[in-house]
Amino acid sequence: MTHLKEKDPFCCPEFIPTPWEDKIFEWEKKRFLKDRVCTLFYMPLNFGKVMKRLNKKVEAAGAIMPDWLCLSDHTSMWNMDLYLAVNKEIPGGNNITMDGRFYSRVYEGPFSDTGTWCKDFENKAKSKGFTFNKLYLWYTTCPKCAKKYGKNYVVIMAAVEMKTNSLNQTP
């Protein structure tokens, strides 16, 4: 990978991994704008087009995207849902909220390592006593910006619950 040059344009802010590495977030009615991306064997086909559509809605509403957080839920080999964090309801958008305790870890490298990252995430979460049903991936920069910054960070998040120990439960 090459590093960002001053004259090169970029569209994604540089990602700082520290606030997201091995962290727990408590969300109460955290706002997201939801959309869908077509994929072919999990590879996104129209990710950029969908992000531009979402960005237009956010700008038209005078809203902001906190941390540029955009969670991806790979619902099948053929599509994924996107959840773009926003600070207010977006008129004409598919507005949703998320609640709960979310655990996050940061990974860096080629997208081909995603399977390895997911297994590592599951192992780390289990070692902390967490259970979860669904993983979300946050692709923190587009491929062009990742190349310019010299790092391809991906954050994996999941809504987690603590495992209960049946020996410590009261009848």
Kindly state whether residue 132 falls inside one of the protein's structural domains.
yes
What pLDDT digit, counting tens, does each position of 42-51 carry?
889 999 999 9
In a domain, 27, yes or no: yes
Q: Show the domain range for 88.
A: 21-163
Is 170 inside any structural domain? no
Q: What is the pTM of this model?
A: 0.87
The number of distinct structural domains making up the chain is 1
Q: Could you tell me if residue 106 is inside a domain? A: yes
Give the domain CATH number at 157.
Answer: 3.20.80.10
In a domain, 100, yes or no: yes
- Which burial class, exposed, middle or buried, applies to 140 when counting CB atoms under 10 A from its CB (0-12, 13-18, 19+)? buried
Res 11: pLDDT: 82
The reported pLDDT for the residue numbered 69 is: 97
- Outline where DSSP puts E strands in 17-171: 23-40, 43-44, 70-74, 79-85, 94-108, 130-131, 135-139, 153-159, 161-162
Q: Which residues of the chain have pLDDT under 50?
A: 1-6, 166-171
Q: Which amino acid is at 7?
A: K
Residue 10 lies in a domain: no
Evaluate whether residue 168 is within a structural domain.
no
Residue 8: inside a domain: no
In three-state secondary structure terms, 171 is coil
Q: In the numeric block, which tokens belong to residue 10?
A: 């970029």
